[in-house]
Every structure is written in C-alpha cells, then in structure tokens.
Amino acid sequence: MVRLDGTSLTREEVIRVARQGCGVVLDAEQMEAVRRAADFLDEQVRRQEPIYGVSTGFGSNADKLLGARRAREGIGEPPSPGRSLLEELQHNLLITHAVCVGEPFPPEVVRAMLVIRINTLMRGHSGIRPSTLEALAAMLNRGVVPVVPRKGSVGASGDLAPLSHLAIVLLGGGEAWFAGERLPGAEALRRAGMAPIALSHKEGLALNNGTTQMLATAVLAIERMEKLVETADLAAAMTLEAFAGRSRAFAEKVHALRPHPGQLAAAASLRAKLAGSSLIDCPYHLIPRFRTWQAESWTLPEDQAQHFDIAWDWVPPAQRHGREAFYRRFLPFRGGKKHQPQDAYSLRCIPQVHGAVRDALDQAIRVVEVELNAVTDNPLLFPDAGDAAAIEDRVISAGHFHGMPLALAMSYLKAAIPVLASISERRLNKLLDPATNDGLPAFLIGNEDATDSGFMIVQYTAAALVNDLATRAHPAAVHSIPTSANAEDHVSMGANEARHVLEMTEDLGHVLALELYTAAQALDYRRDMINAARRLARRGDLDALCSKVGNAPSAGTEAYALFRSECAELLRQLAALDAFRPSPVVQAALARIREEIPFMRKDRPMDAEVRRMCELVAQDALLGLHPS
C-alpha cells in the first residue's frame, strides 16, 4: 500500500498504483488537517461568508451569490431533490462539466489520476470532508476505474472536464470499469460494495479543479521516456558496433569541456555499453567491405555457406604521396571503413543529441515532482491562520489550477521526442545506404540473384513515423483559447501537451525498435565479414587473401613484390587477432533479438518480426540484460 499524506508522493509510487494495481492508505495524522479544513469551511458557511465556489457561482458566474431557496420554489418548480442550493451547486458542477469526448484513457492513466487527486486533497487546504476523501480512496482500492474520455481539458481551471468524469462515479453517475467490465457508475459502485455519496460545501470544486489529468499523463510519459532514452543509447551503441565506429568522441575528458548534465550522462552511457568491444576503433585496414557472393568466391567447402564475399583495394605507391606516415600506421588497404578520423554526426554527436533530450526529460521530472505534492484547486483554505485573520486571508482565490508549469515542461519534452527519433532514423538509413554504410551490403541483404529488397522499406516506415512525430510536436501551450465568457481568459492547454507526449512515446519506441532490428542485421554482417577475413588469414593462405584485394599489379613487377609483402602483413595482423565481437552489453541485446528474429539471408515476410521487435522495446526486454 502507498501511504498518502499530501507531501511525500513520488513518481515511483504513482507508477506502482497505476501500472501494478497497488492500493493506498490515508495517513491518519494528516486526515486531521483535512477534517479541520472541512470544519472551518462549514463554520464560514454558517456565518454566511461569501466564498467563491461555495456561496457563489463558478467562473463568470462568480458575481452571483446563492440565495436561501430556489427562485421558483412553489411556482410550478418540480420538487426539490433534497439538496440545499449549496449542495446543488457542487452536484451540478460535476454533472455539467463531465463532457469530454474521444476514446477513454487506459485504466493506468485513470488510476494515476485518482492517486494524485487523493494526495493533493490530503494537504488540508481544499475543504473536502474526510468521508468523501475516504470514498475516493475506497473506489481506487476496490478497483472501480472511472471511464474518462481523453479530450476536453484546456488546462485551467485545471482539468475540469476529465476530473468531473473521474468524480461523477462517486455520485453514481458516469461509467466505470470494474472487473474488466464497462458499467454504469452506480452499478460499478454496487458491485464494489459501495454506495453513491452526496457532496457538501466546495467538494465538487475540490474534486474537479486541479492539474491532475495532465500530471498523471506526464508521470506515465516520463516513466516511458526514461526507458526509451536508455533504449536509444542501446540502439546507438549497436549501430556504432555495426559501423566499427570511433569511440574517442565519447571520452570523458572531451565532455568535461562542455559539461551539460545530459550530455555527460549520455557519453557515460555509451562508454559503458561499448566497453569490451573489439569492433569499436578497429584499425581501418582490417575491415573488409562486402562483395556479392559468387560460386568462385570461396574455395573451401565450409566457406561456401557464406552469404557474402569480402574485398579490399590496395593503394599503390603512386597514390601515397603526402600520406606516407598514415600508411605506415595503417596498411595501404581500403576496405569497408573510410580512412577518416571521425564518424558522421548521427554517430559522433550521439552524446550531444541524446544528452539534450535527457536534459529536457530532467526538466520535466523536476516540474512533475514539485506538482505531485502541490495543492492545485481553488479557493485555498488556511484554517490555521488564526481566528483574528480576516476571512479574505483565510480563504484565498488564486491560480494554482493553471497548468502552465507542466505545459511548458511537457512542450519541451514533446519537441525532444522527434529529435531522438530523427537521429535514430538517420543512423538506420546510414546502415542501409551503400554510399554511407562503410562497406556493408546495400539494404543489408546479399541479393546475389537481384531479387531481394532486404531492409529497404524499414527505413520508409521509420521516416513516416519521424515525420508524424515532427508534425505533432508543435507546442499546444503557445495557443490559449479563452473560456467561461472570458473570465478564464488565459489557459495552458497542458492536458493536451501531456497527452501528446504520452501518445508520442509509442511511436518513438517504434522508431528505436526499427533501428535495433536493422542494426542487429548490420552487426551480424560486420562481425561475420571481419571474422571470415580472420579465418582466411589464420589458414596462412596468402594467395587466397590476395585474391580478395583489387588493384593488384602485374605479377613479376617490383610493385607486385611490394603488394605481396603488404598483403602478407595484413594476413599476419588478421591472424594474430582473437575473434571479433561486440561489447558484452550489445552482445546480450543482440542475442535476445536473435532468440526470436533470426538473421535474414534472403527476403522473407517481415511484418511479424517488426511487430515483435516493437513489443520487445515496449516491454523493455532489451534493457538490463546480464552479459554472459
């Protein structure tokens, strides 16, 4: 059980309640503060003090004071429902504000809304009675999950419409899920052993006035983003391995010179994920490039099973002028890896881009963690201010329901999502393009019969997703539409902002899954091609190795003698190496993928594989694996 006291709720506890079905218990000591606020409000009502939302109307109706009886009482008016005007005000608030549209939120979002709303009311500044708060907690603990449509909040005065859907079930209205069945609210309560309640002073306003929907969706979106940022680092690491990339751009001393926290964390994450790799920083000349398999490519029977051939080009002395020092350090062979000391931006700048996304995420976390234990309804009660204080100093109308702190934090995070997806898609595309993939086959398929498309269209899907994310990244918070006859003349649209982020995380996960799917194929090719060259060298067959090298001069010439001697040195260096392998972290992720999706030698149906890859990412199945 999660103990709620209004001041110590954490994101982790919200996730436990939302996703794991954990229940809540109300802190007994803090319930005394709740009781004092309710008693204080009751006393002010007896004194006939004018209090917004208690003895006045709401919004632009705030200038209307409630009378002692209905205006048409006794003049053709139907019989009273047995509620005073003050009680009728609260009841009507919920039943007229529950007007959201669209598909319902998943139960996990609604459970997060319930625990957050209960916690803020526990602060004792809202005037809700302990019995009403206990009924709200009982609804959560007994598995009654109100049906809350997704769209209808402008984010000030809080999430009025969705919170009314949340609270109306307590009155026996609306709809709710119970035991997997969608039911009328009254029936859901009955099956849970509960009865509808009647609202007292300000309780409708306490229940529906606050930032709870946007906060609940923000908490769940952040939890998903934390996993996706790690997944992005893993996908980048696997892609780097497939490129036999350069790691010095991730060095700690490099990032100490520009110490953005997210950038430092991303660089450290990459260093950890790449530690122990023999592919990263592999010398240029040891990396062969792909050549299409032919029957004469391999002479030994065991090599005929290869799905590729390998090749280098020899750099003749006439092309080495001014580069002699380089070719003393790296042998004069051009294979798969270009002779350049830096990789493309999508590889070299991973810490800067992933790190900036981490910084946006950290800002959202900071805002959310403040909001989780904030009071966000209106007006605010200060029952302990002392009897000498004026009523205006003990009941204060303010604007804590305004969602702009959350809205701007989530708009920042929303803009970061297509950035993370975009650099992932660029890495994926780079793996497929023979002009940029450092010697891998086009579209990562051997295609010796010219019938195979390989991974070509995987990039199309990733591109479509990135475009869709980019078009959805426009900040909702920059466009306020006034409400309530201009009484609420500036609103946050934070509910839309947070909902967008939560929904966009799914497509971000899909893009990262497509990169991992592609990088696994590329990494298998890269590792197998280098290891094939190594095995060839270990046999000591210099003629076989020389046959893999283009630009060979004519036999019997001085240049040919140099060519043979340099090929012999390439053979020696390859033979001296242990089998090439990725880092333990990347190898563990690759092995997990290969448990379900084999290497693709020839075209085959890919739809089920893509779905399964997306599921693995959604389940975080590639994170936290223990390398063997």
Distance separating alpha carbons of residues 99 and 77, to the nearest angstrom: 26
Active site residues: 52
Any idea which residue has 């204060």 for tokens?
396
Backbone angles phi, psi at 380, to 5 degrees: -100, 135
pLDDT in tens, 98-123: 999 999 999 999 999 999 999 999 99
Contact 146, 178 (CB under 8 A): no
Cα angle 489, 491, 492 (rounded to 5 degrees) comes to 160
In this prediction, residue 50 has a pLDDT band, given cuts at 50, 70 and 90, of: confident
Task: Name the helix (H) or strand (E) containing 580.
Answer: none
**Residue carrying structure tokens 């305004």:** 402
Residue 78 confidence class, pLDDT cut points 50, 70, 90: low
Of the pLDDT bands very low, low, confident and very high (cuts 50, 70, 90), residue 586 is: very high
Q: Per the omega criterion (within 30 degrees of 0), is the bond before 157 cis?
A: yes
CATH match of 227-362+411-618 with 1.20.200.10 = yes
* Start-to-end Cα distance in the chain: 37
pLDDT digits (tens, 9 = 90+) for 360-371: 999 999 999 999
- Helix and strand element counts for the chain (H, E): 22, 13
pLDDT at position 483, please? Answer: 87
Cα(357)–Cα(324) distance, rounded to whole angstroms?
43
Least confident of 61-70, 115-124, 199-208, 242-251: 61-70
Q: Which of 397, 377, 607 is nearest to 514 (CA)?
A: 607
- In DSSP notation, 489-508 reads -----HHHHHHHHHHHHHHH
Q: CA 272 from chain center: how many Å?
A: 21
d(CA 346, CA 422): 9
Phi-psi region of 456 (alpha: psi -120 to 50; beta: other; left: phi over 0): alpha
- And the tokens for 306? 């290869």
Which DSSP state fits 552?
P
* Two structure tokens written together for 369: 């963690």
- Encode pLDDT of 532-557 as tens digits: 999 999 999 999 999 999 999 999 89
- Does residue 339 register a pLDDT over 90? no
**Cα–Cα distance list, 557 to 317, 549, 560, 561, 562 (Å):** 13, 17, 5, 7, 9
User: Do residues 535 and 447 touch, judged by C-beta distance below 8 A?
Assistant: no
Instruction: In whole angstroms, give the CA distance from residue 364 to residue 415.
Output: 12
Mean pLDDT, the chain, as a whole number? 94
536's tokens: 């060839």
136: tokens are: 């709200």
Neighbours of 177 (CB within 10 A): 17
Residue 374 has pLDDT above 80, yes or no: yes
DSSP label at residue 7: S
Q: Which residues pair with 550 in a beta bridge?
A: 313
Q: What percent of the chain has pLDDT over 90?
A: 81
- pLDDT classification of 380: cutoffs 50, 70, 90: very high
Band of pLDDT at residue 72, cut at 50, 70 and 90: low
- Range with lowest mean pLDDT among 59-68, 367-376, 469-478: 59-68
* Residue 498: C-alpha distances to residues 83, 150, 493, 494 (Å): 37, 11, 9, 6
- 182 contact partners, CB below 8 Å, separation of at least 6: 147, 175, 176
pTM: 0.94
pLDDT in tens, 462-478: 999 999 999 999 999 99
> Judging by DSSP bridges, how do beta strands 2-4 and 145-146 pair with one another?
unpaired
Rounded to whole angstroms, the Cα distance separating 619 from 617 reads 5
Closest CA to 217 of 505, 480, 511, 418: 505
Domain residues of the chain, as ranges? 2-210, 227-362+411-618
Cβ atoms of 426 and 232 within 8 Å: the answer is no
The beta-strand segments (E) located in 75-115 are 101-104
Residues 606-627: tens digit of each pLDDT? 999 999 999 999 999 999 998 7
E strand segments, 166-287: 175-178, 181-184
Rounded to 5, what percent of the chain is helix, strand, coil?
55, 5, 40
Return the number of other C-beta atoms located less than 10 Å from residue 470's C-beta. 15
Token couple for 565: 């001697």
- The letter for the amino acid at 189 is L
Please give the CATH number for the structural domain made up of 2-210.
1.10.275.10
Residue 57: predicted pLDDT = 74
- Between CA 327 and CA 269 the distance in angstroms is 34
